[in-house]
C-alpha cells in the first residue's frame, strides 16, 4: 500500500522564523497546522486527491474550493450586469 503524500500549503511564521507548516482543505480553503496524533478528525477526498478539514459540509459534498470561488464570482458578475446607470450616474438595481 502506498503512503499518502500531503501537500504543504503554507507556513506559520513568528519573528521571521518558520515555526510550523500548514495544510489546506481542498473544499473550503481553511488552513491548519498538521499535528499528528492530536485526535482531530480530518478527511481525504478521493475525487480531489487532497486532504479536507473535517468540517461536516466538506465531508458531505465534493466541491473544490476553486469551483466555489468561480460560482461566487459568476453570481457577482450577474449582480453587476443587472445594474443600470441612470442619467445622474446613480446605479439602480433592476428587479
Tens-digit pLDDT profile for residues 4-29: 556 777 888 899 998 888 999 999 99
Task: Tell me whether residue 3 is in a domain.
Answer: no
Overall number of domains in the chain: 1
Residue 88 has pLDDT above 50, yes or no: no
Residue 64 and residue 49 in contact, taking contact as beta carbons nearer than 8 Å: no
Radius of gyration of the chain (CA): 20
**Residue 31: Cβ-neighbour burial (10 angstroms; 0-12, 13-18, 19+):** middle
Phi and psi angles of residue 2, each rounded to the nearest 5 degrees, phi first: -80, 150
Residue 16 lies inside a defined structural domain of this protein: yes
Residues 6+ apart with CB under 8 A from 85: 91
The residue range of the domain holding 33 is 10-93
Has residue 5 been placed in a domain? no
pLDDT of 85 over the 50 cut = no
* Residue 39: inside a domain: yes
Amino acid at each position: 500500500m502506498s503512503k499518502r503524500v500531503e501537500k504543504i500549503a503554507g507556513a506559520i511564521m513568528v519573528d521571521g522564523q518558520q515555526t510550523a507548516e500548514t495544510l489546506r482543505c481542498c473544499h473550503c480553503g481553511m488552513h491548519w497546522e498538521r499535528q499528528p496524533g492530536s485526535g482531530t478528525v480530518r478527511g481525504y477526498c478521493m475525487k480531489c486527491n487532497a486532504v479536507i478539514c473535517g468540517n461536516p459540509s466538506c465531508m458531505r459534498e465534493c466541491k473544490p474550493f476553486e469551483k466555489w470561488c468561480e460560482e461566487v464570482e459568476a453570481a457577482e458578475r450577474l449582480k453587476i450586469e443587472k445594474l443600470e446607470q441612470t442619467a445622474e450616474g446613480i446605479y439602480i438595481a433592476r428587479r
